Structure 1
Amino acid sequence: MLQTRDSTRHLDGLRIIAAGAVVILHYSDYLKDHSAGRFVFEHTLHFNLFVDLFFVVSGFVIASQYIGKVESFPAIFRFLGRRLARIYPLHLATLMFYLAIALAFYLGFAKTDNPARYPLSDVPAQLFLLHAVDGQRLTFNFPSWSLSAEMFCYLLFPLVALATKRRRMLVVALVILPALANSIYVAAAGTEPWAEWINNGGIFRALPGFNLGVACYLLRDQIARWPVSSRAFTLSLLAFTLFGWLLPEMVALVAVYTIAVLAIQCDYCGATTLLTRLRFDRASAYTYSCYMLHIPIATLVLTFGARALTDLPGGKLSLLPVAIAALAMASFLSYRFFETPLRHSLNEIFDRQLPAHRSIAATSSSEGAR
């Protein structure tokens, strides 16, 4: 059965796969004391680049909803307010969770093997979503660095939309130039590849991927006409998942970008693949919840739980199914009963504070994506 041309089932399916890949990488890191955990961790290090796939998907989704609708200051403020309403409540909740742990640690009620995880000096950057600019690496709920990076892209999006309004092909330069600037800086400063930038420079890592997503939306009709078999998407995703750890980091990043573009090509040419037949897209609404909650769940189950059950056969490894089940349940509950109601309430507040703008308000019902 062919998909409709406005379907994004491949992109939606990729989102939940990417979130699952990040969970596998981080949970195997918790289990490195076991040979199985160590083996998985060593062969899934490339899964960290699935975060860059999020940036591409985010750029595509934002462009599809807001191109042509952020041309006035009230519209821009409403757009930014809606993005904050989507990402900030769960970020704040997970930050408060780790601040409670930090407080217990500093007051002597608890102990930790990693006190560097809880620097109070990093709290302002976390609160204001600046920790992908100048934050400390891997603190508190550390995957949230990507929210800071995305917020930077959201702030620039109205300029991108304005720049490409009359000259659509200019968006290609907005992909190439940030990537080129990042590469020049790496060569000149001798830093690690920019695909590894997180808390220092994560905003610049996100920009090429986000703009690539915008470009794919603007050029979607051309992409749909590419003479590429849908099998290329399936094979590239499988190959990257299984063998991406063999690739140099920047080559692996290009592979992730390619997978995202091929997914868009499949969506817009109406292809059906193994991914859509398995209906991974049905779980895509829980992507953000899963991504943001998997480390707090690991802290509760794989750290605190393992300490409390020291005589448990297999130790942390035997608690892995518990962590996965808890994550699935927490993601469902968070999305349905915390994130969604809060998002709607905050959107109503923004709408009351700003003059009515029909084209922006119309996107409210479709903003469940990350």
Structure 2
Amino acid sequence: MVRLGRLDGLRGIAACGVAFTYHSTGLFADGALASTNPVVHWLHWSGWLFVDMFFVLSGYIFAHVYLGRNALKNGTDLADFGIARVARLYPLHLLMLLLTVALFWSKPENTVLAFGAHLVMLQALVPPVAQTFNGPTWSLSVEAMCYVLFAMGAAAGPRALRLVTGLAIFLALFMIVSNAAPEGPYVRDNFPRGLLGFFLGQVLWHQRARLAGVPGWVLAGLIVAGLAIPPAAFGAILPLVLLTFPAVLLLGLRLRWLESRPLIWLGDRSYAIYLVHLPLRDLFLELSGPLGGSAAEIVLGHALFIAVTLLLSDLALRFVEMPARRAIRAGWDRRSQRAALA
């Protein structure tokens, strides 16, 4: 199966967008990062929407990996799929959860109920706890639910998957429009955001041959259009998920520089960046308090936060993610072999 390296580069950019343009603003005192530059302003206040780019990318990549080679046909395939997902997501999630318990248990919102929900990755379904402990992991919970729907639909056959995809997109649109809020995300939006982005990514993969002929200038226009539509019209999510992010994905598939070594490096560490950055930011705040507003403090504060996040993410990939993934997969393979011989 051909690796979509350019989408890995996009994934790295999206992770950095969440970590270093949105959540990093919490390092600074109120008003310290005020800017009249529209790009800077959007990144500071709307960078949370990079999460929805993750959902679209995931849907496309999963279709490419699993549907492209018809890899989900029966119960054995579903079990292999589930183990692969656990091996990919859970080890670092568990480590970061335990670290946040050790560091931030005293916060009133970090309760036993919240810990239990995070432990089984169901935090997105329990609104009071979705943003506790390591807040960004709500999206892992949503992605896991999308994986279940996708795998079950794919195993049931193409018609069933088309039905699942259509129903998921319809339900997501209905829920998002019903709850549209221009000023920011709400917990009740979490599940439909994941459904819409993930299954829209599936549609893009199925239509990839037709969409390959769309001129680049049209895609660029869609990117700008999604950004230009006022959030008050449809909420902050829909214009970007329906216009901008699909166009970014399709255009990204044509851009060789997204396969550059630095971006592939970031893409490989995107999951770790996503899980490490917020606990690290909160630890910075515990140790130093909010930073002031001088230019030197802003630059040095951001630089230090980025450097430490990238260092820890690299260590997490090499010493947690990859070894745990290999161990879990090897254990599952041995179990499967014993079962086949029994």
- TM-score bracket, shorter-length normalisation: 0.7 to 0.9
Note the C-alpha offset of 1:207. 0.8
Other-structure match for 1:212: 200
Aligned residue among 182, 196, 204 for 2:185: 196
For the residues of structure 2 that align with 1:247 and 1:184, how far apart are their CA atoms? 12
Other-structure match for 1:294: 277
For the residues of structure 2 that align with 1:356 and 1:225, how far apart are their CA atoms? 49
Amino acid aligned to 2:185: E
CA contact (8 A) 1:31 1:317 kept: no
Amino acid aligned to 1:140: F
Note the C-alpha offset of 1:177. 1.5
Alignment of 1:1-370 (within 5 A): 8-23=4-19, 24-36=21-33, 44-67=44-67, 68-103=70-105, 105=106, 115-135=107-127, 136-162=129-155, 165-166=158-159, 173-174=166-167, 176-183=169-176, 185-186=178-179, 192=181, 196-198=185-187, 200=188, 202-226=190-214, 228-229=215-216, 231-233=217-219, 247-248=231-232, 250=235, 252-266=237-251, 271-272=254-255, 275=258, 280-301=263-284, 303-307=285-289, 318-354=300-336
Note the C-alpha offset of 1:140. 0.6
For the residues of structure 1 that align with 2:9 and 2:221, how far apart are their CA atoms? 15
CA contact (8 A) 1:99 1:140 kept: yes
Matched position secondary structure for 2:84:
helix
CA contact (8 A) 2:15 2:270 kept: yes
Note the C-alpha offset of 1:334. 0.9
The change in CA–CA distance for 1:237 and 1:117 in structure 2 (over 3 A counts) is farther
Note the C-alpha offset of 1:32. 3.7
For the residues of structure 1 that align with 2:183 and 2:331, how far apart are their CA atoms? 38
1:50-92 superposed Cα distances (whole Å, 9 cap, x missing partner)? 1111111111111111222122112101101111111111111
CA contact (8 A) 1:32 1:38 kept: no
Note the C-alpha offset of 1:327. 0.5
Structure 1 stretch 256-265 or stretch 20-29: which is displaced more? 256-265
1:88-135 superposed Cα distances (whole Å, 9 cap, x missing partner)? 1111111101111245x3xxxxxxxxx234222211100000001114
Q: Percent identity?
A: 27
Amino acid aligned to 2:84: R
Note the C-alpha offset of 1:322. 1.4
The change in CA–CA distance for 1:41 and 1:195 in structure 2 (over 3 A counts) is closer
For the residues of structure 2 that align with 1:281 and 1:236, how far apart are their CA atoms? 26
The change in CA–CA distance for 1:244 and 1:289 in structure 2 (over 3 A counts) is farther
The change in CA–CA distance for 1:318 and 1:77 in structure 2 (over 3 A counts) is same
The change in CA–CA distance for 1:202 and 1:215 in structure 2 (over 3 A counts) is same
The change in CA–CA distance for 1:121 and 1:176 in structure 2 (over 3 A counts) is closer
For the residues of structure 2 that align with 1:209 and 1:356, how far apart are their CA atoms? 39
The change in CA–CA distance for 1:69 and 1:7 in structure 2 (over 3 A counts) is closer
For the residues of structure 2 that align with 1:255 and 1:74, how far apart are their CA atoms? 37
For the residues of structure 2 that align with 1:307 and 1:316, how far apart are their CA atoms? 14
Other-structure match for 1:364: none
Matched position secondary structure for 2:235:
helix
CA contact (8 A) 1:237 1:259 kept: yes
TM-score, normalising length: structure 1: 0.76
For the residues of structure 2 that align with 1:354 and 1:193, how far apart are their CA atoms? 50
1:7-62 superposed Cα distances (whole Å, 9 cap, x missing partner)? 63442222112111111111113314352268757763221111111111111111
Amino acid aligned to 1:89: P
For the residues of structure 1 that align with 2:87 and 2:23, how far apart are their CA atoms? 27
Q: Which runs of 5+ in 1 are unaligned?
A: 106-114, 358-370
1:174-207 superposed Cα distances (whole Å, 9 cap, x missing partner)? 4531233314653xxxx85798243x45223211
Note the C-alpha offset of 1:298. 0.8
Note the C-alpha offset of 1:224. 1.2
CA contact (8 A) 2:225 2:243 kept: no
Note the C-alpha offset of 1:349. 1.5
For the residues of structure 2 that align with 1:356 and 1:223, how far apart are their CA atoms? 46
Taking only aligned residues, the RMSD between alpha carbons, in angstroms, comes to 3.6
Amino acid aligned to 1:338: V
